Amino acid sequence: MKHVIAVATLLFMFCGVGQTTQFKGEVPETIDAVMVGDRLVDVALNLGILPKAMAVRASMWPQAEELALASQILGCPNFVTNKKPETLAAYMLERGVTRVIIERSESFCLYKPNVNPMAAADLVLDVPGVSIEYVDFTQGVEPAILQMAELLGVPEKGRELADEYARNMQALNESLPDEGLGKRVLILNGTYSSETGNAFVRVEAPGGYSDQYILGPLGCENVGNELISETMEVSKGHAGIGRITGLDQANPDVIVATGDSLAVQMALREAIARKPELADVPAIKNGAVFSLPFYGDSSVVEYPGIFKQWRTALEE
């Protein structure tokens, strides 16, 4: 009976916090340019502008699927600078685009430390009339917003956005608990195929983006390693699992579902049906299972809002 109640909790009480949107009711203007770098595109979007094409980490940025409706994604920066370095120049020559705006960051990707969007500059030098511009994120997001706004010809919007971002970051810092929350957190990323009805789940390994930007500042522990065996490969901070095992060893206080929460629900339901005593795991027993957005340091302007959603869930 206990596992039936637990399954019902997953099906009917799966908690979601309001998602952060970036479009804010405004249709972005598309400019004749190519942008290289997630943070760069995020700032441009919040200024009401998108490039004709972009190189961003689409597989790690939930917003990318929506952005692809308005701007062509040429691949990730690793793809366009290392795997297929002719991509940018070929696109620009074919479409007659001569402007490239590139992100400068100290560390572009936590999972691919050798990837640098700046490498794109040398790859487009042979494009006739090319104009290469840079936006520097090494000094922080706020000055990068102002610089980007100047390049795009919307300095007033830039000042407003930078001020809003500064206020939001101040509120974030002031909201940090004096003492860590001390929660054990399991993060499961789901993918659901509507065509096949199949669900796939990955475990976020410790040491990744969620640890650095969410769990660490809140004083929480990522217990994902309890579900990752020695034979599993960790790719882009996640390990794919056929079914959930080790949940009782992880014993999380909170389970967070990123990506498609239905896939996570299905996997948890199957695990509980297979092993009813999992109903006693604190996260299941207390209904502390939340659907939250993944943050991979792409949606930098939205970071304070995303952090607030996670904090609200973990404080429950």
- Give, for all 316 residues of the chain, the pLDDT tens digit: 455 445 445 543 455 544 444 455 578 999 999 999 999 999 999 999 999 999 999 999 989 988 999 999 999 999 999 999 999 999 999 999 999 999 999 999 999 999 999 999 999 999 999 999 999 999 999 999 999 999 999 999 999 999 999 999 999 999 999 999 999 999 999 998 888 888 899 999 999 999 999 999 999 999 999 999 989 999 999 999 989 999 999 999 999 999 999 999 999 999 999 999 999 999 999 999 999 999 999 999 999 999 999 999 999 8
Query: Does residue 222 contact residue 211 with C-beta atoms inside 8 Å?
Result: yes
Residue 198: the pLDDT is 87
CA–CA distance, 158 with 47 (Å, rounded to integer): 7
Neighbours of 53 (CB within 10 A): 22
Q: Is residue 24 part of a domain?
A: no
Q: Which residues pair with 55 in a beta bridge?
A: 36, 75
In a domain, 222, yes or no: yes
**Looking at the structure, do residues 209 and 279 belong to the same domain, yes or no?**
yes
In Å, how far are 75, 136, 147, 247, 270 from 101, measured between CA atoms? 15, 11, 12, 45, 47
Query: What is the number of structural domains in the chain?
Result: 2
Residues 36 and 166 occupy one common structural domain = yes
| 187 and 248 co-located in one domain | yes
**169 shares its domain with 43:** yes
**What is the distance between the alpha carbons of residues 200 and 192, in angstroms, rounded to a whole number?**
6
Position 204 in a domain: yes
Q: What is the pLDDT of residue 193?
A: 87
Write down the residue that tokens 């019902």 correspond to: 8
User: DSSP labels for the chain?
Assistant: -HHHHHHHHHHH--EEPPPP-SSTT-PPEEEEEEEE-HHHHHHHHHTTEEEEEEE--TTT-TTHHHHTTTSEEEE-HHIIIIISTTHHHHHHHHHT--EEEEEE-S-S-SS-TT--GGGHHHHTTTSTT-EEEEEE-TT-HHHHHHHHHHHHT-HHHHHHHHHHHHHHHHHHHHHS-SS----EEEEEEEEE-TTT--EEEEEEPTTSHHIIIIIHHHT-EE-GGGG--TTSPEETTEEEESS---HHHH--SEEEEEE-HHHHHHHHHHHHHH-GGGGGSHHHHTT-EEE-----SS-TTTHHHHHHHHHHHHH-
Q: Are residues 148 and 238 in the same domain?
A: no
The answer to whether residues 89 and 201 belong to one domain is no
pLDDT at 11: 44
Same domain, 51 and 138: yes
Domain end residue (candidates: 147, 174, 201): 174
Are 199 and 153 in the same domain?
no
Q: Is the four-CA dihedral 124, 141, 305, 238 of positive or negative sign?
A: positive
- CATH number for the domain that contains residue 246: 3.40.50.1980
Q: What pLDDT score does 25 carry?
A: 56
Partnered with residue 256 across adjacent β-strands are 187, 290
What is the rounded distance in angstroms from the CA atom of residue 220 to the CA atom of residue 180?
Answer: 7
Shared domain for 166 and 200, answered yes or no, is no
Residues 131, 204 within the same domain: no
**Residue in the block written with tokens 């195929």:** 193
**Would you state the pLDDT for residue 250?**
97
Distance CA 27, CA 24 (A): 9
Domain limit, last residue, from 174, 194, 214: 174
Residues 230, 263, single domain; the answer is yes
Please, is 69 exposed, middle or buried when counting C-beta atoms within 10 Å of its C-beta (0-12, 13-18, 19+)? exposed
Predicted confidence at residue 242, as pLDDT, reads 84
How much is the pLDDT for 21?
43
Q: Could you say which of 122, 144, 174 is where a domain stops?
A: 174
| Residues 34 and 160 grouped into a single domain | yes
pLDDT attached to residue 8 = 43
Gyration radius of the chain over CA positions: 21
Q: Counting every residue, how long is the chain?
A: 316
Q: Could you give the CA distance from residue 28 to residue 51 in angstroms, rounded to a whole number? A: 9
> What pTM, to 2 d.p., does this model score?
0.91
Range of the domain at 79: 29-174
